[in-house]
């Protein structure tokens, strides 16, 4: 019985643990010394294999292992492919397969075999209105709706290939980049839960002058600042 959980070693970052049923294998290839010597693969002196797993949301993991019984060593490498880490690079799963294979010093032939085992891509059927409900088109519509509804330059940004996670209801979660400011008032660098030194002095001074709590003084200053900004924009 296959294990429900699998921990995968990645290159240059911490390992990841996945549920195997959520990350099915979509391609793999293996090489071992017994191919030349007629031994059972389980008894081979060394084994090399590449594996590609993919989640329903589009993320993928490419990983490889080299096990050698003679010097008793094992080398592992892998990459997690996500929308935000590969945006604008034009990279796909085959590019990452070649890179993982090269890192482990596998023959290019093994990488070619793994790529050849990837699911075939349909190229003959042209898009038509009848296929508008396909998963890719549906995901594109979710991204477009999220951009129109929520995107604000410099604050909330959504990639053209943002990861989509379909919900149980009629909708989906769309991954986004959200910028978190420091100071709550002036938005200059500071800590998330405090004010910068200058704004803290302003809040304290107003609270002392008006008798307001620091929280009420902060909200009043926020309102005053937003009204000032709105007026300045109207006069431009």
**Domain containing 156: what range?**
133-178
Residue 191 lies in a domain: no
**What span, in angstroms and rounded, lies between the C-alpha atoms of 130 and 127?**
8
Please say whether the beta carbons of 142 and 174 come within 8 A. Answer: yes
Residue 15 falls inside a structural domain: yes
Clarify whether residues 61 and 97 are in a common domain: yes
* 17 and 111 together in one domain: yes
pLDDT, mean over the chain: 77
Same domain membership, residue 10 and residue 111: yes
Q: Are residues 222 and 174 in the same domain?
A: no
pTM over 0.75: no
Name 146's Cβ contacts closer than 8 Å, sequence gap at least 6: 158, 162, 174, 176
State whether 30 and 60 are in the same domain: yes
Task: Verify that 51 and 97 share a domain, yes or no.
Answer: yes
Q: Are 58 and 149 contained in the same domain?
A: no
Encode pLDDT of 103-115 as tens digits: 999 999 999 999 9
Q: Answer yes or no: is 122 within a domain.
A: no
Q: Based on the domain organization, do 230 and 159 belong to the same domain?
A: no
Residues 30 and 93 in one domain: yes
Cα distance between residue 158 and residue 148, in whole Å: 10
Within-domain flag for 41: yes
Question: Which regions of the chain are under pLDDT 70?
Answer: 1-3, 33-44, 69-72, 83-91, 124-137, 168-169, 180-194, 225-236
* Domain total in the chain: 3
């Amino acid at each position: 019985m296959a294990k429900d959980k699998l921990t995968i070693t990645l290159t240059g970052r911490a390992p990841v643990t996945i549920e195997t049923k959520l990350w099915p294998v979509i391609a793999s290839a293996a090489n071992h010394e017994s191919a030349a010597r007629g031994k059972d693969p389980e008894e081979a002196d060394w084994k090399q294999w590449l594996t590609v797993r993919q989640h329903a949301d589009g993320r993928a993991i490419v990983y490889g292992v080299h096990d050698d019984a003679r010097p008793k060593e094992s080398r592992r490498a892998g990459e997690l492919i996500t929308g935000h880490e590969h945006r604008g690079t034009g990279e796909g799963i085959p590019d990452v397969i070649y890179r993982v294979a090269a890192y482990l010093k596998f023959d290019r032939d093994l990488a070619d075999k793994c790529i050849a085992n990837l699911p075939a891509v349909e190229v003959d059927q042209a898009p038509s209105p009848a296929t508008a409900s396909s998963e890719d088109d549906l995901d594109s519509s979710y991204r477009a709706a999220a951009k129109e509804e929520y995107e604000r330059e410099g604050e909330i940004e959504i990639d053209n290939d943002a990861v989509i996670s379909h919900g149980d209801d009629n909708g989906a979660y769309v991954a986004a980049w959200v910028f978190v400011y420091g100071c709550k008032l002036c938005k200059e660098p500071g800590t998330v839960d405090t004010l910068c030194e200058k704004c803290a002095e302003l809040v304290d001074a107003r609270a002392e002058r008006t008798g307001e709590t620091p929280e009420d003084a902060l909200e009043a200053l926020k309102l005053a600042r937003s009204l000032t900004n709105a007026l300045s924009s109207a006069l431009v």
